[in-house]
Amino acid sequence: MRPFSYLCGMKVIDTHAHLYSQHFTQDLPEVIKRAREVLAAVMLPNIDRESIPEMHRLAAMAPDFFFPMMGLHPSHVQAGFEAELEMMEGWLEGDEVTYFGIGETGIDLYWDKTTLDIQRRSLQVHIDWAKAYDLPIILHARNAIDEVADLIEHNLDDRLRGIFHCFDGSPAQAARIAGFGSFKLGIGGIATYRKDVQAMVRDLDPGLIVLETDSPYLPPEPRRKDKPRRNESSYTRYVAEAVARLKDMTYEEVAALTNANAREIFRLS
């Protein structure tokens, strides 16, 4: 691998970042400047109704660089979630904002297993949106890869495509998702330090990989000890470097391949 090739102009795509988060309130212009130095685009998944205005504001600042999505994060699915989804679909149906994906949605069994039923119901609505609006679905599956994959498989047809975000599953789970034929795996900061994820990435078909940060969460090595501890989109370069090492590829090869994978899923020109 040729290190730090991003300095030579080979830019990558961060397919998952929450740069509209309050974690960036104090220095957002600097964060954006650093991101533009190493990235071609940043995809912005939504979280809940409260995050929509800031996400829209950020996307409007640089529509050639920030690409918003619409959805309800599974950890924010609560009783009465249907009203929140109805409001979100109003945005999808309107022409005020162009969206590039559905999500972040999925199932999270790390924080709360008691809401599994309504998380499944919310995910089903998002799957229906992805098909209806011809948009990729961005899937959160923390401690729930099999549960999410089951619902995707049940709904699978040629209208459904997307990304299993922050993928940390087994080789068998990766192979199952690869068999769907229209889904990619989001590889992020954990691939820089978790040995099980590194082993999985080594054997992964490069055609399945897209890069992400999940900013402001899950900073990669060597930024995990930063104070305050915060991830940002420019750190996608560390993920790209890790993938290059694990796959015995150059940084440029990883950038070109993962950019093509991301553009295919999001249908970016």
pLDDT in tens, the chain (269 residues): 333 444 445 899 999 999 999 999 999 999 999 999 999 999 999 999 999 999 999 999 999 999 999 999 999 999 999 999 999 999 999 999 999 999 999 999 998 899 999 999 999 999 999 999 999 999 999 999 999 999 999 999 999 999 999 999 999 999 999 999 999 999 999 999 999 999 999 999 999 999 999 999 999 999 999 988 999 999 999 999 999 999 999 999 999 999 999 999 999 98
The pLDDT of residue 1 is: 32
Nearest to 130 by CA among 174, 182, 95, 177: 182
Question: Do 31 and 66 meet the contact criterion of CB atoms below 8 Å apart?
Answer: no
- What pTM was computed for the model? 0.96
The domain containing residue 162 runs over which residues?
5-266
The pLDDT of residue 269 is: 81
Q: How many domains does the chain have?
A: 1
The pLDDT of residue 8 is: 45
The pLDDT of residue 9 is: 55
Q: Any idea of the CA torsion for 141, 74, 217, 175, to the nearest 10 degrees?
A: 10
Q: Which tokens in the block code for residue 37?
A: 């130095």
Q: Any idea of the CA torsion for 105, 108, 113, 116, to the nearest 10 degrees?
A: 30
Distance CA(50)–CA(87), nearest Å, equals 12
CATH code for the domain in which residue 189 is found? 3.20.20.140
- To the nearest 5 percent, what fractions of the chain are helix, strand and coil? 50, 15, 40
